[in-house]
């Protein structure tokens, strides 16, 4: 099987996508897609003043925004920017066309926006609001048709205070631009692994970083959140002021207000050493044992990180495994990867030593695809369950080849180590909402998904979704049968049908409920902003 022949570009694409919840089309049109997406990536660039007309638009919330003197940041469907804004949600299946967008540039405008929307139409009417930072959340978390999308992408400033060693980052920034800005000061932060992913959604759900083994989740490194509450009030939440809200925001997502700014602890930035490998699926068993051993390492190895991904790619007619090994101190030949490195590769390993910004950029996006994902699954670090995952994935591929045809889809299944000390760091840094400390086992997160490649893929969606869902249920049942099931549903990758908040455990659910009631007594963020993970839907 001549996999190397046409695969260098494709394999690169695989690596690009290895940390995403639902992946992207492994096509040769990557560059074209990138070009198409550029206007989205350069968000905010040309958001010009438009509609100043005082006549009613017929849309109560849009009228209310205009009446609040926000017309310069309201974009109706007739706006030249409207289609670019629609495409600002990452996956095709999450792009929705609302009545209007509002694109606040500062905290004061967010406050005015919230007040105007709260008062719109006397609070009546069946319309809703979606809040969007980077737009990478799945389902209908960040977009809506019948109502207004609050797009925070213009709030993308990153500043650094050398005295306090704290970076202040706007919610609408992308991790790539955050890292590039902070690099000028020789510092880094605990954030996303891909440049184009948004700051807001990632931190508010936790935030897995290459540095998590050393620093904890992105949310554990927030020293202050600036938040606009439902009544328009602007507050800080930190360890001393509104400390209940501070803790709730570390994983509690969009239940309390709109976060406008995150103050983040920084650390001196070293280059990252990255080693990328491609491995034939016949070696999956050996690789799984090596991943399990890596996950069982203690925290003294915290400068190392890895991710492994199986992918069926129709161009290769095979399931290929890609592995990314990272050392965050720039050490090449870290011995922790020796077992993996003994596994034969399909092509020479690709080794680089790059800055955090470049590492994120080299894993930059492929958006605009129709992805089928049912969300992540966290299991104990148990090789027999991982092997079962791989078997089920192979079965799914064979099944989909018959149902859809071999060239109609690609798949992904990844494994991400989740050692128990991730939880300990969170506890040491003040505590987050994920509730990981309830289980002392080392864990693995696995995410499976299907990318539909053909134009009529919308019609294929339900049957693929059903099959993927059945596969995930079967893996869950197997994990349970061998006592390797775990409770956490990691929110940033979750499908909104999953009860991610409920998985945080009763004490944290209770905390989130109390804090939501205290800071949003009218339930504005529960009822008018229904997308995503809402405490009011948790039993
Ligand atoms: C290509 C790709 C790579 C990824 N890599 C990683 C990774 O390395 N590590 C990781 O942990 N996760 C990763 N994820 C998952 C990612 O963290 C989530 O998709 C997250 O939602 C992204 O944040 P966002 O701002 O782009 O999303 P959005 O969809 O804009 O927001 C997600 C949710 O948060 C809410 N929200 C956003 N901003 C605010 C705010 N300011 N105030 C209140 N609510 C808000 C939204 O309403 C929505 O419900 C990745 C996802 C993709 C698609
Ligand atoms: C904010 O976004 C704009 C538009 O994409 C971009 O030009 C600018 O560089 C970004 N700002 C920062 C600090 O990254
Ligand atoms: C309305 O907004 C514009 C900026 O768009 C500002 O210059 C003006 O002062 C505002 N008017 C009032 C009455 O707030
Ligand atoms: C915490 O909030 C208070 C009140 O707004 C503020 O004065 C203080 O500077 C904040 N602390 C941090 C660490 O940001
Ligand atoms: C794809 O691979 C399978 C075996 O894995 C083989 O049976 C089939 O003929 C191959 N298809 C093509 C088009 O090469
Ligand atoms: C790392 O290993 C490669 C061979 O695998 C070797 O060529 C290189 O010199 C090593 N680098 C260091 C710094 O040890």
Residue pLDDT, tens place only, 276-310: 999 999 999 999 999 999 999 999 999 999 999 99
What's the whole-number mean pLDDT along residues 39-50? Answer: 36
Q: Dihedral sign, CA of 255, 256, 258, 263?
A: negative
pLDDT of residue 368 exceeding 90, the answer is no
| Ligand 2, atom nearest to 44 Cα | 4
pLDDT of residue 12 exceeding 50, the answer is no
What is the model's pLDDT at position 54? Answer: 59
Residue pLDDT, tens place only, 172-218: 999 999 999 999 999 999 999 999 999 999 999 999 999 999 999 99
Residue 453, phi then psi, degrees to nearest 5: -105, -10
- The sheet carrying 258-265 orders its strands as 158-161, 166-170, 258-265, 222-228, 234-238
Identify the helix (H) or strand (E) that includes residue 84.
helix 82-86
Q: Contact at 8 Å (CB) between 209 and 217?
A: yes
Closest C-alpha to ligand 4, atom 12: 224
pLDDT of residue 13 exceeding 90, the answer is no
Q: Contact at 8 Å (CB) between 426 and 434?
A: yes
pLDDT of residue 21 exceeding 90, the answer is no
* Separation CA 281–CA 148 (nearest Å): 46
Choose one of 333, 336, 341, 352 to mutate for the ligand 6 pocket test, by most ligand atoms within 8 angstroms of C-beta. 333
What is the model's pLDDT at position 188? Answer: 98
Closest C-alpha to ligand 3, atom 8: 69
Pocket of ligand 4 contains residue 223 by CB under 6 Å: yes
Residue pLDDT, tens place only, 384-439: 999 999 999 999 999 999 999 999 999 999 999 999 999 999 999 999 999 999 99
What is the model's pLDDT at position 25? Answer: 39
Residue 239, phi then psi, degrees to nearest 5: -65, -25
* Separation CA 96–CA 151 (nearest Å): 13
What's the whole-number mean pLDDT along residues 45-68? Answer: 74
Q: What single DSSP character describes residue 219?
A: G
| Ligand 1 centroid from CA 444, angstroms | 20
What is the percent of the chain where pLDDT is above 70?
Answer: 89
What is the model's pLDDT at position 11? Answer: 32
| Ligand 6 centroid from CA 334, angstroms | 10
Q: What is the mean pLDDT of the chain?
A: 90
Residues touching ligand 1 (Cβ under 6 Å) are: 19-21, 90, 131-137, 141-142, 152, 171, 192-194, 197-198, 200-202, 204-208, 253-254, 258-259, 365, 492-493, 531-532
Q: Contact at 8 Å (CB) between 376 and 415?
A: no
- Going by pLDDT thresholds of 50, 70 and 90, the confidence category of residue 333 is confident
Number of CB atoms found within 10 A of residue 326's CB:
21
Q: What is the DSSP string of 90-138?
A: SSGGG----SEEE---SHHHHHHHHHHHHHGGGG-SS-EEEEESS----
Q: Contact at 8 Å (CB) between 125 and 38?
A: no
Angle at CA of residue 114, ends 109 and 117, nearest 5°: 120
Tell me the HSE value of 163 on the side-chain side, using a 13 A CA sphere. Answer: 0
Choose one of 37, 41, 44 to mutate for the ligand 2 pocket test, by most ligand atoms within 8 angstroms of C-beta. 44
Domain residue ranges in the chain: 13-151, 158-268+502-537
Lowest-confidence region among 50-54, 389-393, 443-447, 488-492: 50-54
| Ligand 2, atom nearest to 178 Cα | 14
User: Which residue, among 273, 270, 306, has the nearest Cα to 188 in the 3D structure?
Assistant: 270
| Ligand 4, atom nearest to 224 Cα | 14
Residue pLDDT, tens place only, 242-251: 999 999 999 9
Q: Which two tokens stand for residue 447?
A: 């995410």
What is the model's pLDDT at position 55? Answer: 77
**What is 158-268+502-537's CATH topology?**
3.30.465
Any bridge partners for residue 450, and if so which?
372, 411
Q: Dihedral sign, CA of 251, 87, 453, 459?
A: positive
The ligand minimizing its distance to the Cα of 166 is 4
| Ligand 5 centroid from CA 410, angstroms | 15
User: Which residue, among 432, 493, 538, 476, has the nearest Cα to 90 in the 3D structure?
Assistant: 493
Pocket of ligand 3 contains residue 72 by CB under 6 Å: yes
What is the model's pLDDT at position 6? Answer: 32
Choose one of 84, 152, 156 to mutate for the ligand 2 pocket test, by most ligand atoms within 8 angstroms of C-beta. 156
Q: How many residues does the chain have?
A: 539
- Going by pLDDT thresholds of 50, 70 and 90, the confidence category of residue 364 is low
Instruction: Tell me, yes or no, if the two domains 13-151 and 158-268+502-537 fold the same way.
Output: no
Residues of 379-390 as b/e, b for ≥16 C-beta within 10 angstroms? Answer: bbbbbebbebbb
What is the model's pLDDT at position 46? Answer: 38
Is the whole model's pTM more than 0.75, yes or no?
A: yes
Q: Contact at 8 Å (CB) between 206 and 376?
A: no
354: Cβ–Cβ under 8 A, 6 or more apart, which residues?
271, 272, 274, 362
**Residue 317 region by backbone torsions, left for phi larger than 0, else alpha for psi between -120 and 50, else beta:** left
Q: Which two tokens stand for residue 535?
A: 């405490």
**What is 13-151's CATH topology?**
3.30.43
Closest C-alpha to ligand 3, atom 14: 69
Coil vs helix vs strand at 264: strand
- Going by pLDDT thresholds of 50, 70 and 90, the confidence category of residue 51 is very low
* Separation CA 339–CA 291 (nearest Å): 9
Residue pLDDT, tens place only, 118-135: 999 887 899 999 999 999
Lowest-confidence region among 21-35, 149-163, 465-479: 21-35
Choose one of 240, 242, 245 to mutate for the ligand 4 pocket test, by most ligand atoms within 8 angstroms of C-beta. 240
C-alpha dihedral, 345 to 351 to 357 to 362, nearest 10°: -40
pLDDT of residue 24 exceeding 60, the answer is no
């Amino acid at each position: 099987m001549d996999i190397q022949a046409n695969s260098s570009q494709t394999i690169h694409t695989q690596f690009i996508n290895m940390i995403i919840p639902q992946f992207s089309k492994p096509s040769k049109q990557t560059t074209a897609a990138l070009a198409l997406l550029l206007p989205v990536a350069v968000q905010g660039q040309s958001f010009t003043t438009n509609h100043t007309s005082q006549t009613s638009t017929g849309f109560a919330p849009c009228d209310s925004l205009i009446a609040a003197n926000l017309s310069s940041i309201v974009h109706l469907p007739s706006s030249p920017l409207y289609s670019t804004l629609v495409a600002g949600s990452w996956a095709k299946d999450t792009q929705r066309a609302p009545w209007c967008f509002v694109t606040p540039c500062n905290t004061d405008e967010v406050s005015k926006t919230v007040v105007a929307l709260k008062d719109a139409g006397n609070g009546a009417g069946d319309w809703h609001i979606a809040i969007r930072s980077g737009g990478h959340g799945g389902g209908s978390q960040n977009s809506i048709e019948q109502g207004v999308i609050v797009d925070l992408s213009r709030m993308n400033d990153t500043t650094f205070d050398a005295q306090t060693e704290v970076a202040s980052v706007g919610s609408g920034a992308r991790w790539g631009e955050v890292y590039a800005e902070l690099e000028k000061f020789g510092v880094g932060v605990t954030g996303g692994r891909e440049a184009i992913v948004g700051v807001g959604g990632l931190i508010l759900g936790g935030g897995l970083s290459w540095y998590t083994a050393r620093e904890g989740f992105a949310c554990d490194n927030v020293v202050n959140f600036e938040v606009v509450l439902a009544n328009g009030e602007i507050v800080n939440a930190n360890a001393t002021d509104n400390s209940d809200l501070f803790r709730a925001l570390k994983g509690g997502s969009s239940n309390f207000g709109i976060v406008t700014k995150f103050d983040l602890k920084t650390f001196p930035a070293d280059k990252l050493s990255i080693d990328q490998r491609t491995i034939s699926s016949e070696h999956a068993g050996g690789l799984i044992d090596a991943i399990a051993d890596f996950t069982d390492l203690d925290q003294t190895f915290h400068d190392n990180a890895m991710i492994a991904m199986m992918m069926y790619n129709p161009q290769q007619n095979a399931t290929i495994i890609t592995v990314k090994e990272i050392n965050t101190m720039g050490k090449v030949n870290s011995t922790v990867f020796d077992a993996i490195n003994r596994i034969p590769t399909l092509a020479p390993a690709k080794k680089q030593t790059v800055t955090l910004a470049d590492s994120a950029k080299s894993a930059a996006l492929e958006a605009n695809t129709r992805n089928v994902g049912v969300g992540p699954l966290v299991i104990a670090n148990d090789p027999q369950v991982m092997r079962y995952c791989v078997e089920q994935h192979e079965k799914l591929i064979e099944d989909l080849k018959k149902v859809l045809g071999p060239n109609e889809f690609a798949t992904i299944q990844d494994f991400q180590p989740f050692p128990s000390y991730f939880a300990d760091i969170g506890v040491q840094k003040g505590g987050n909402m994920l509730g990981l400390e309830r289980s002392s086992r080392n864990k693995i997160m696995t995410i499976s998904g299907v990318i539909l490649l053909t134009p009529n893929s919308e019609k294929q969606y339900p049957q693929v979704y059903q099959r993927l869902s059945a596969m995930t249920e079967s893996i869950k049942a197997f994990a349970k049968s061998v006592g390797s099931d775990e409770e956490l549903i990691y929110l940033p990758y979750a499908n909104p049908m999953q009860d991610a908040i409920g998985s945080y455990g009763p004490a944290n659910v209770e905390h989130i409920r109390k804090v939501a009631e205290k800071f949003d007594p009218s339930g504005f963020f529960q009822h008018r902003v229904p997308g995503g993970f809402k405490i009011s839907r948790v039993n």
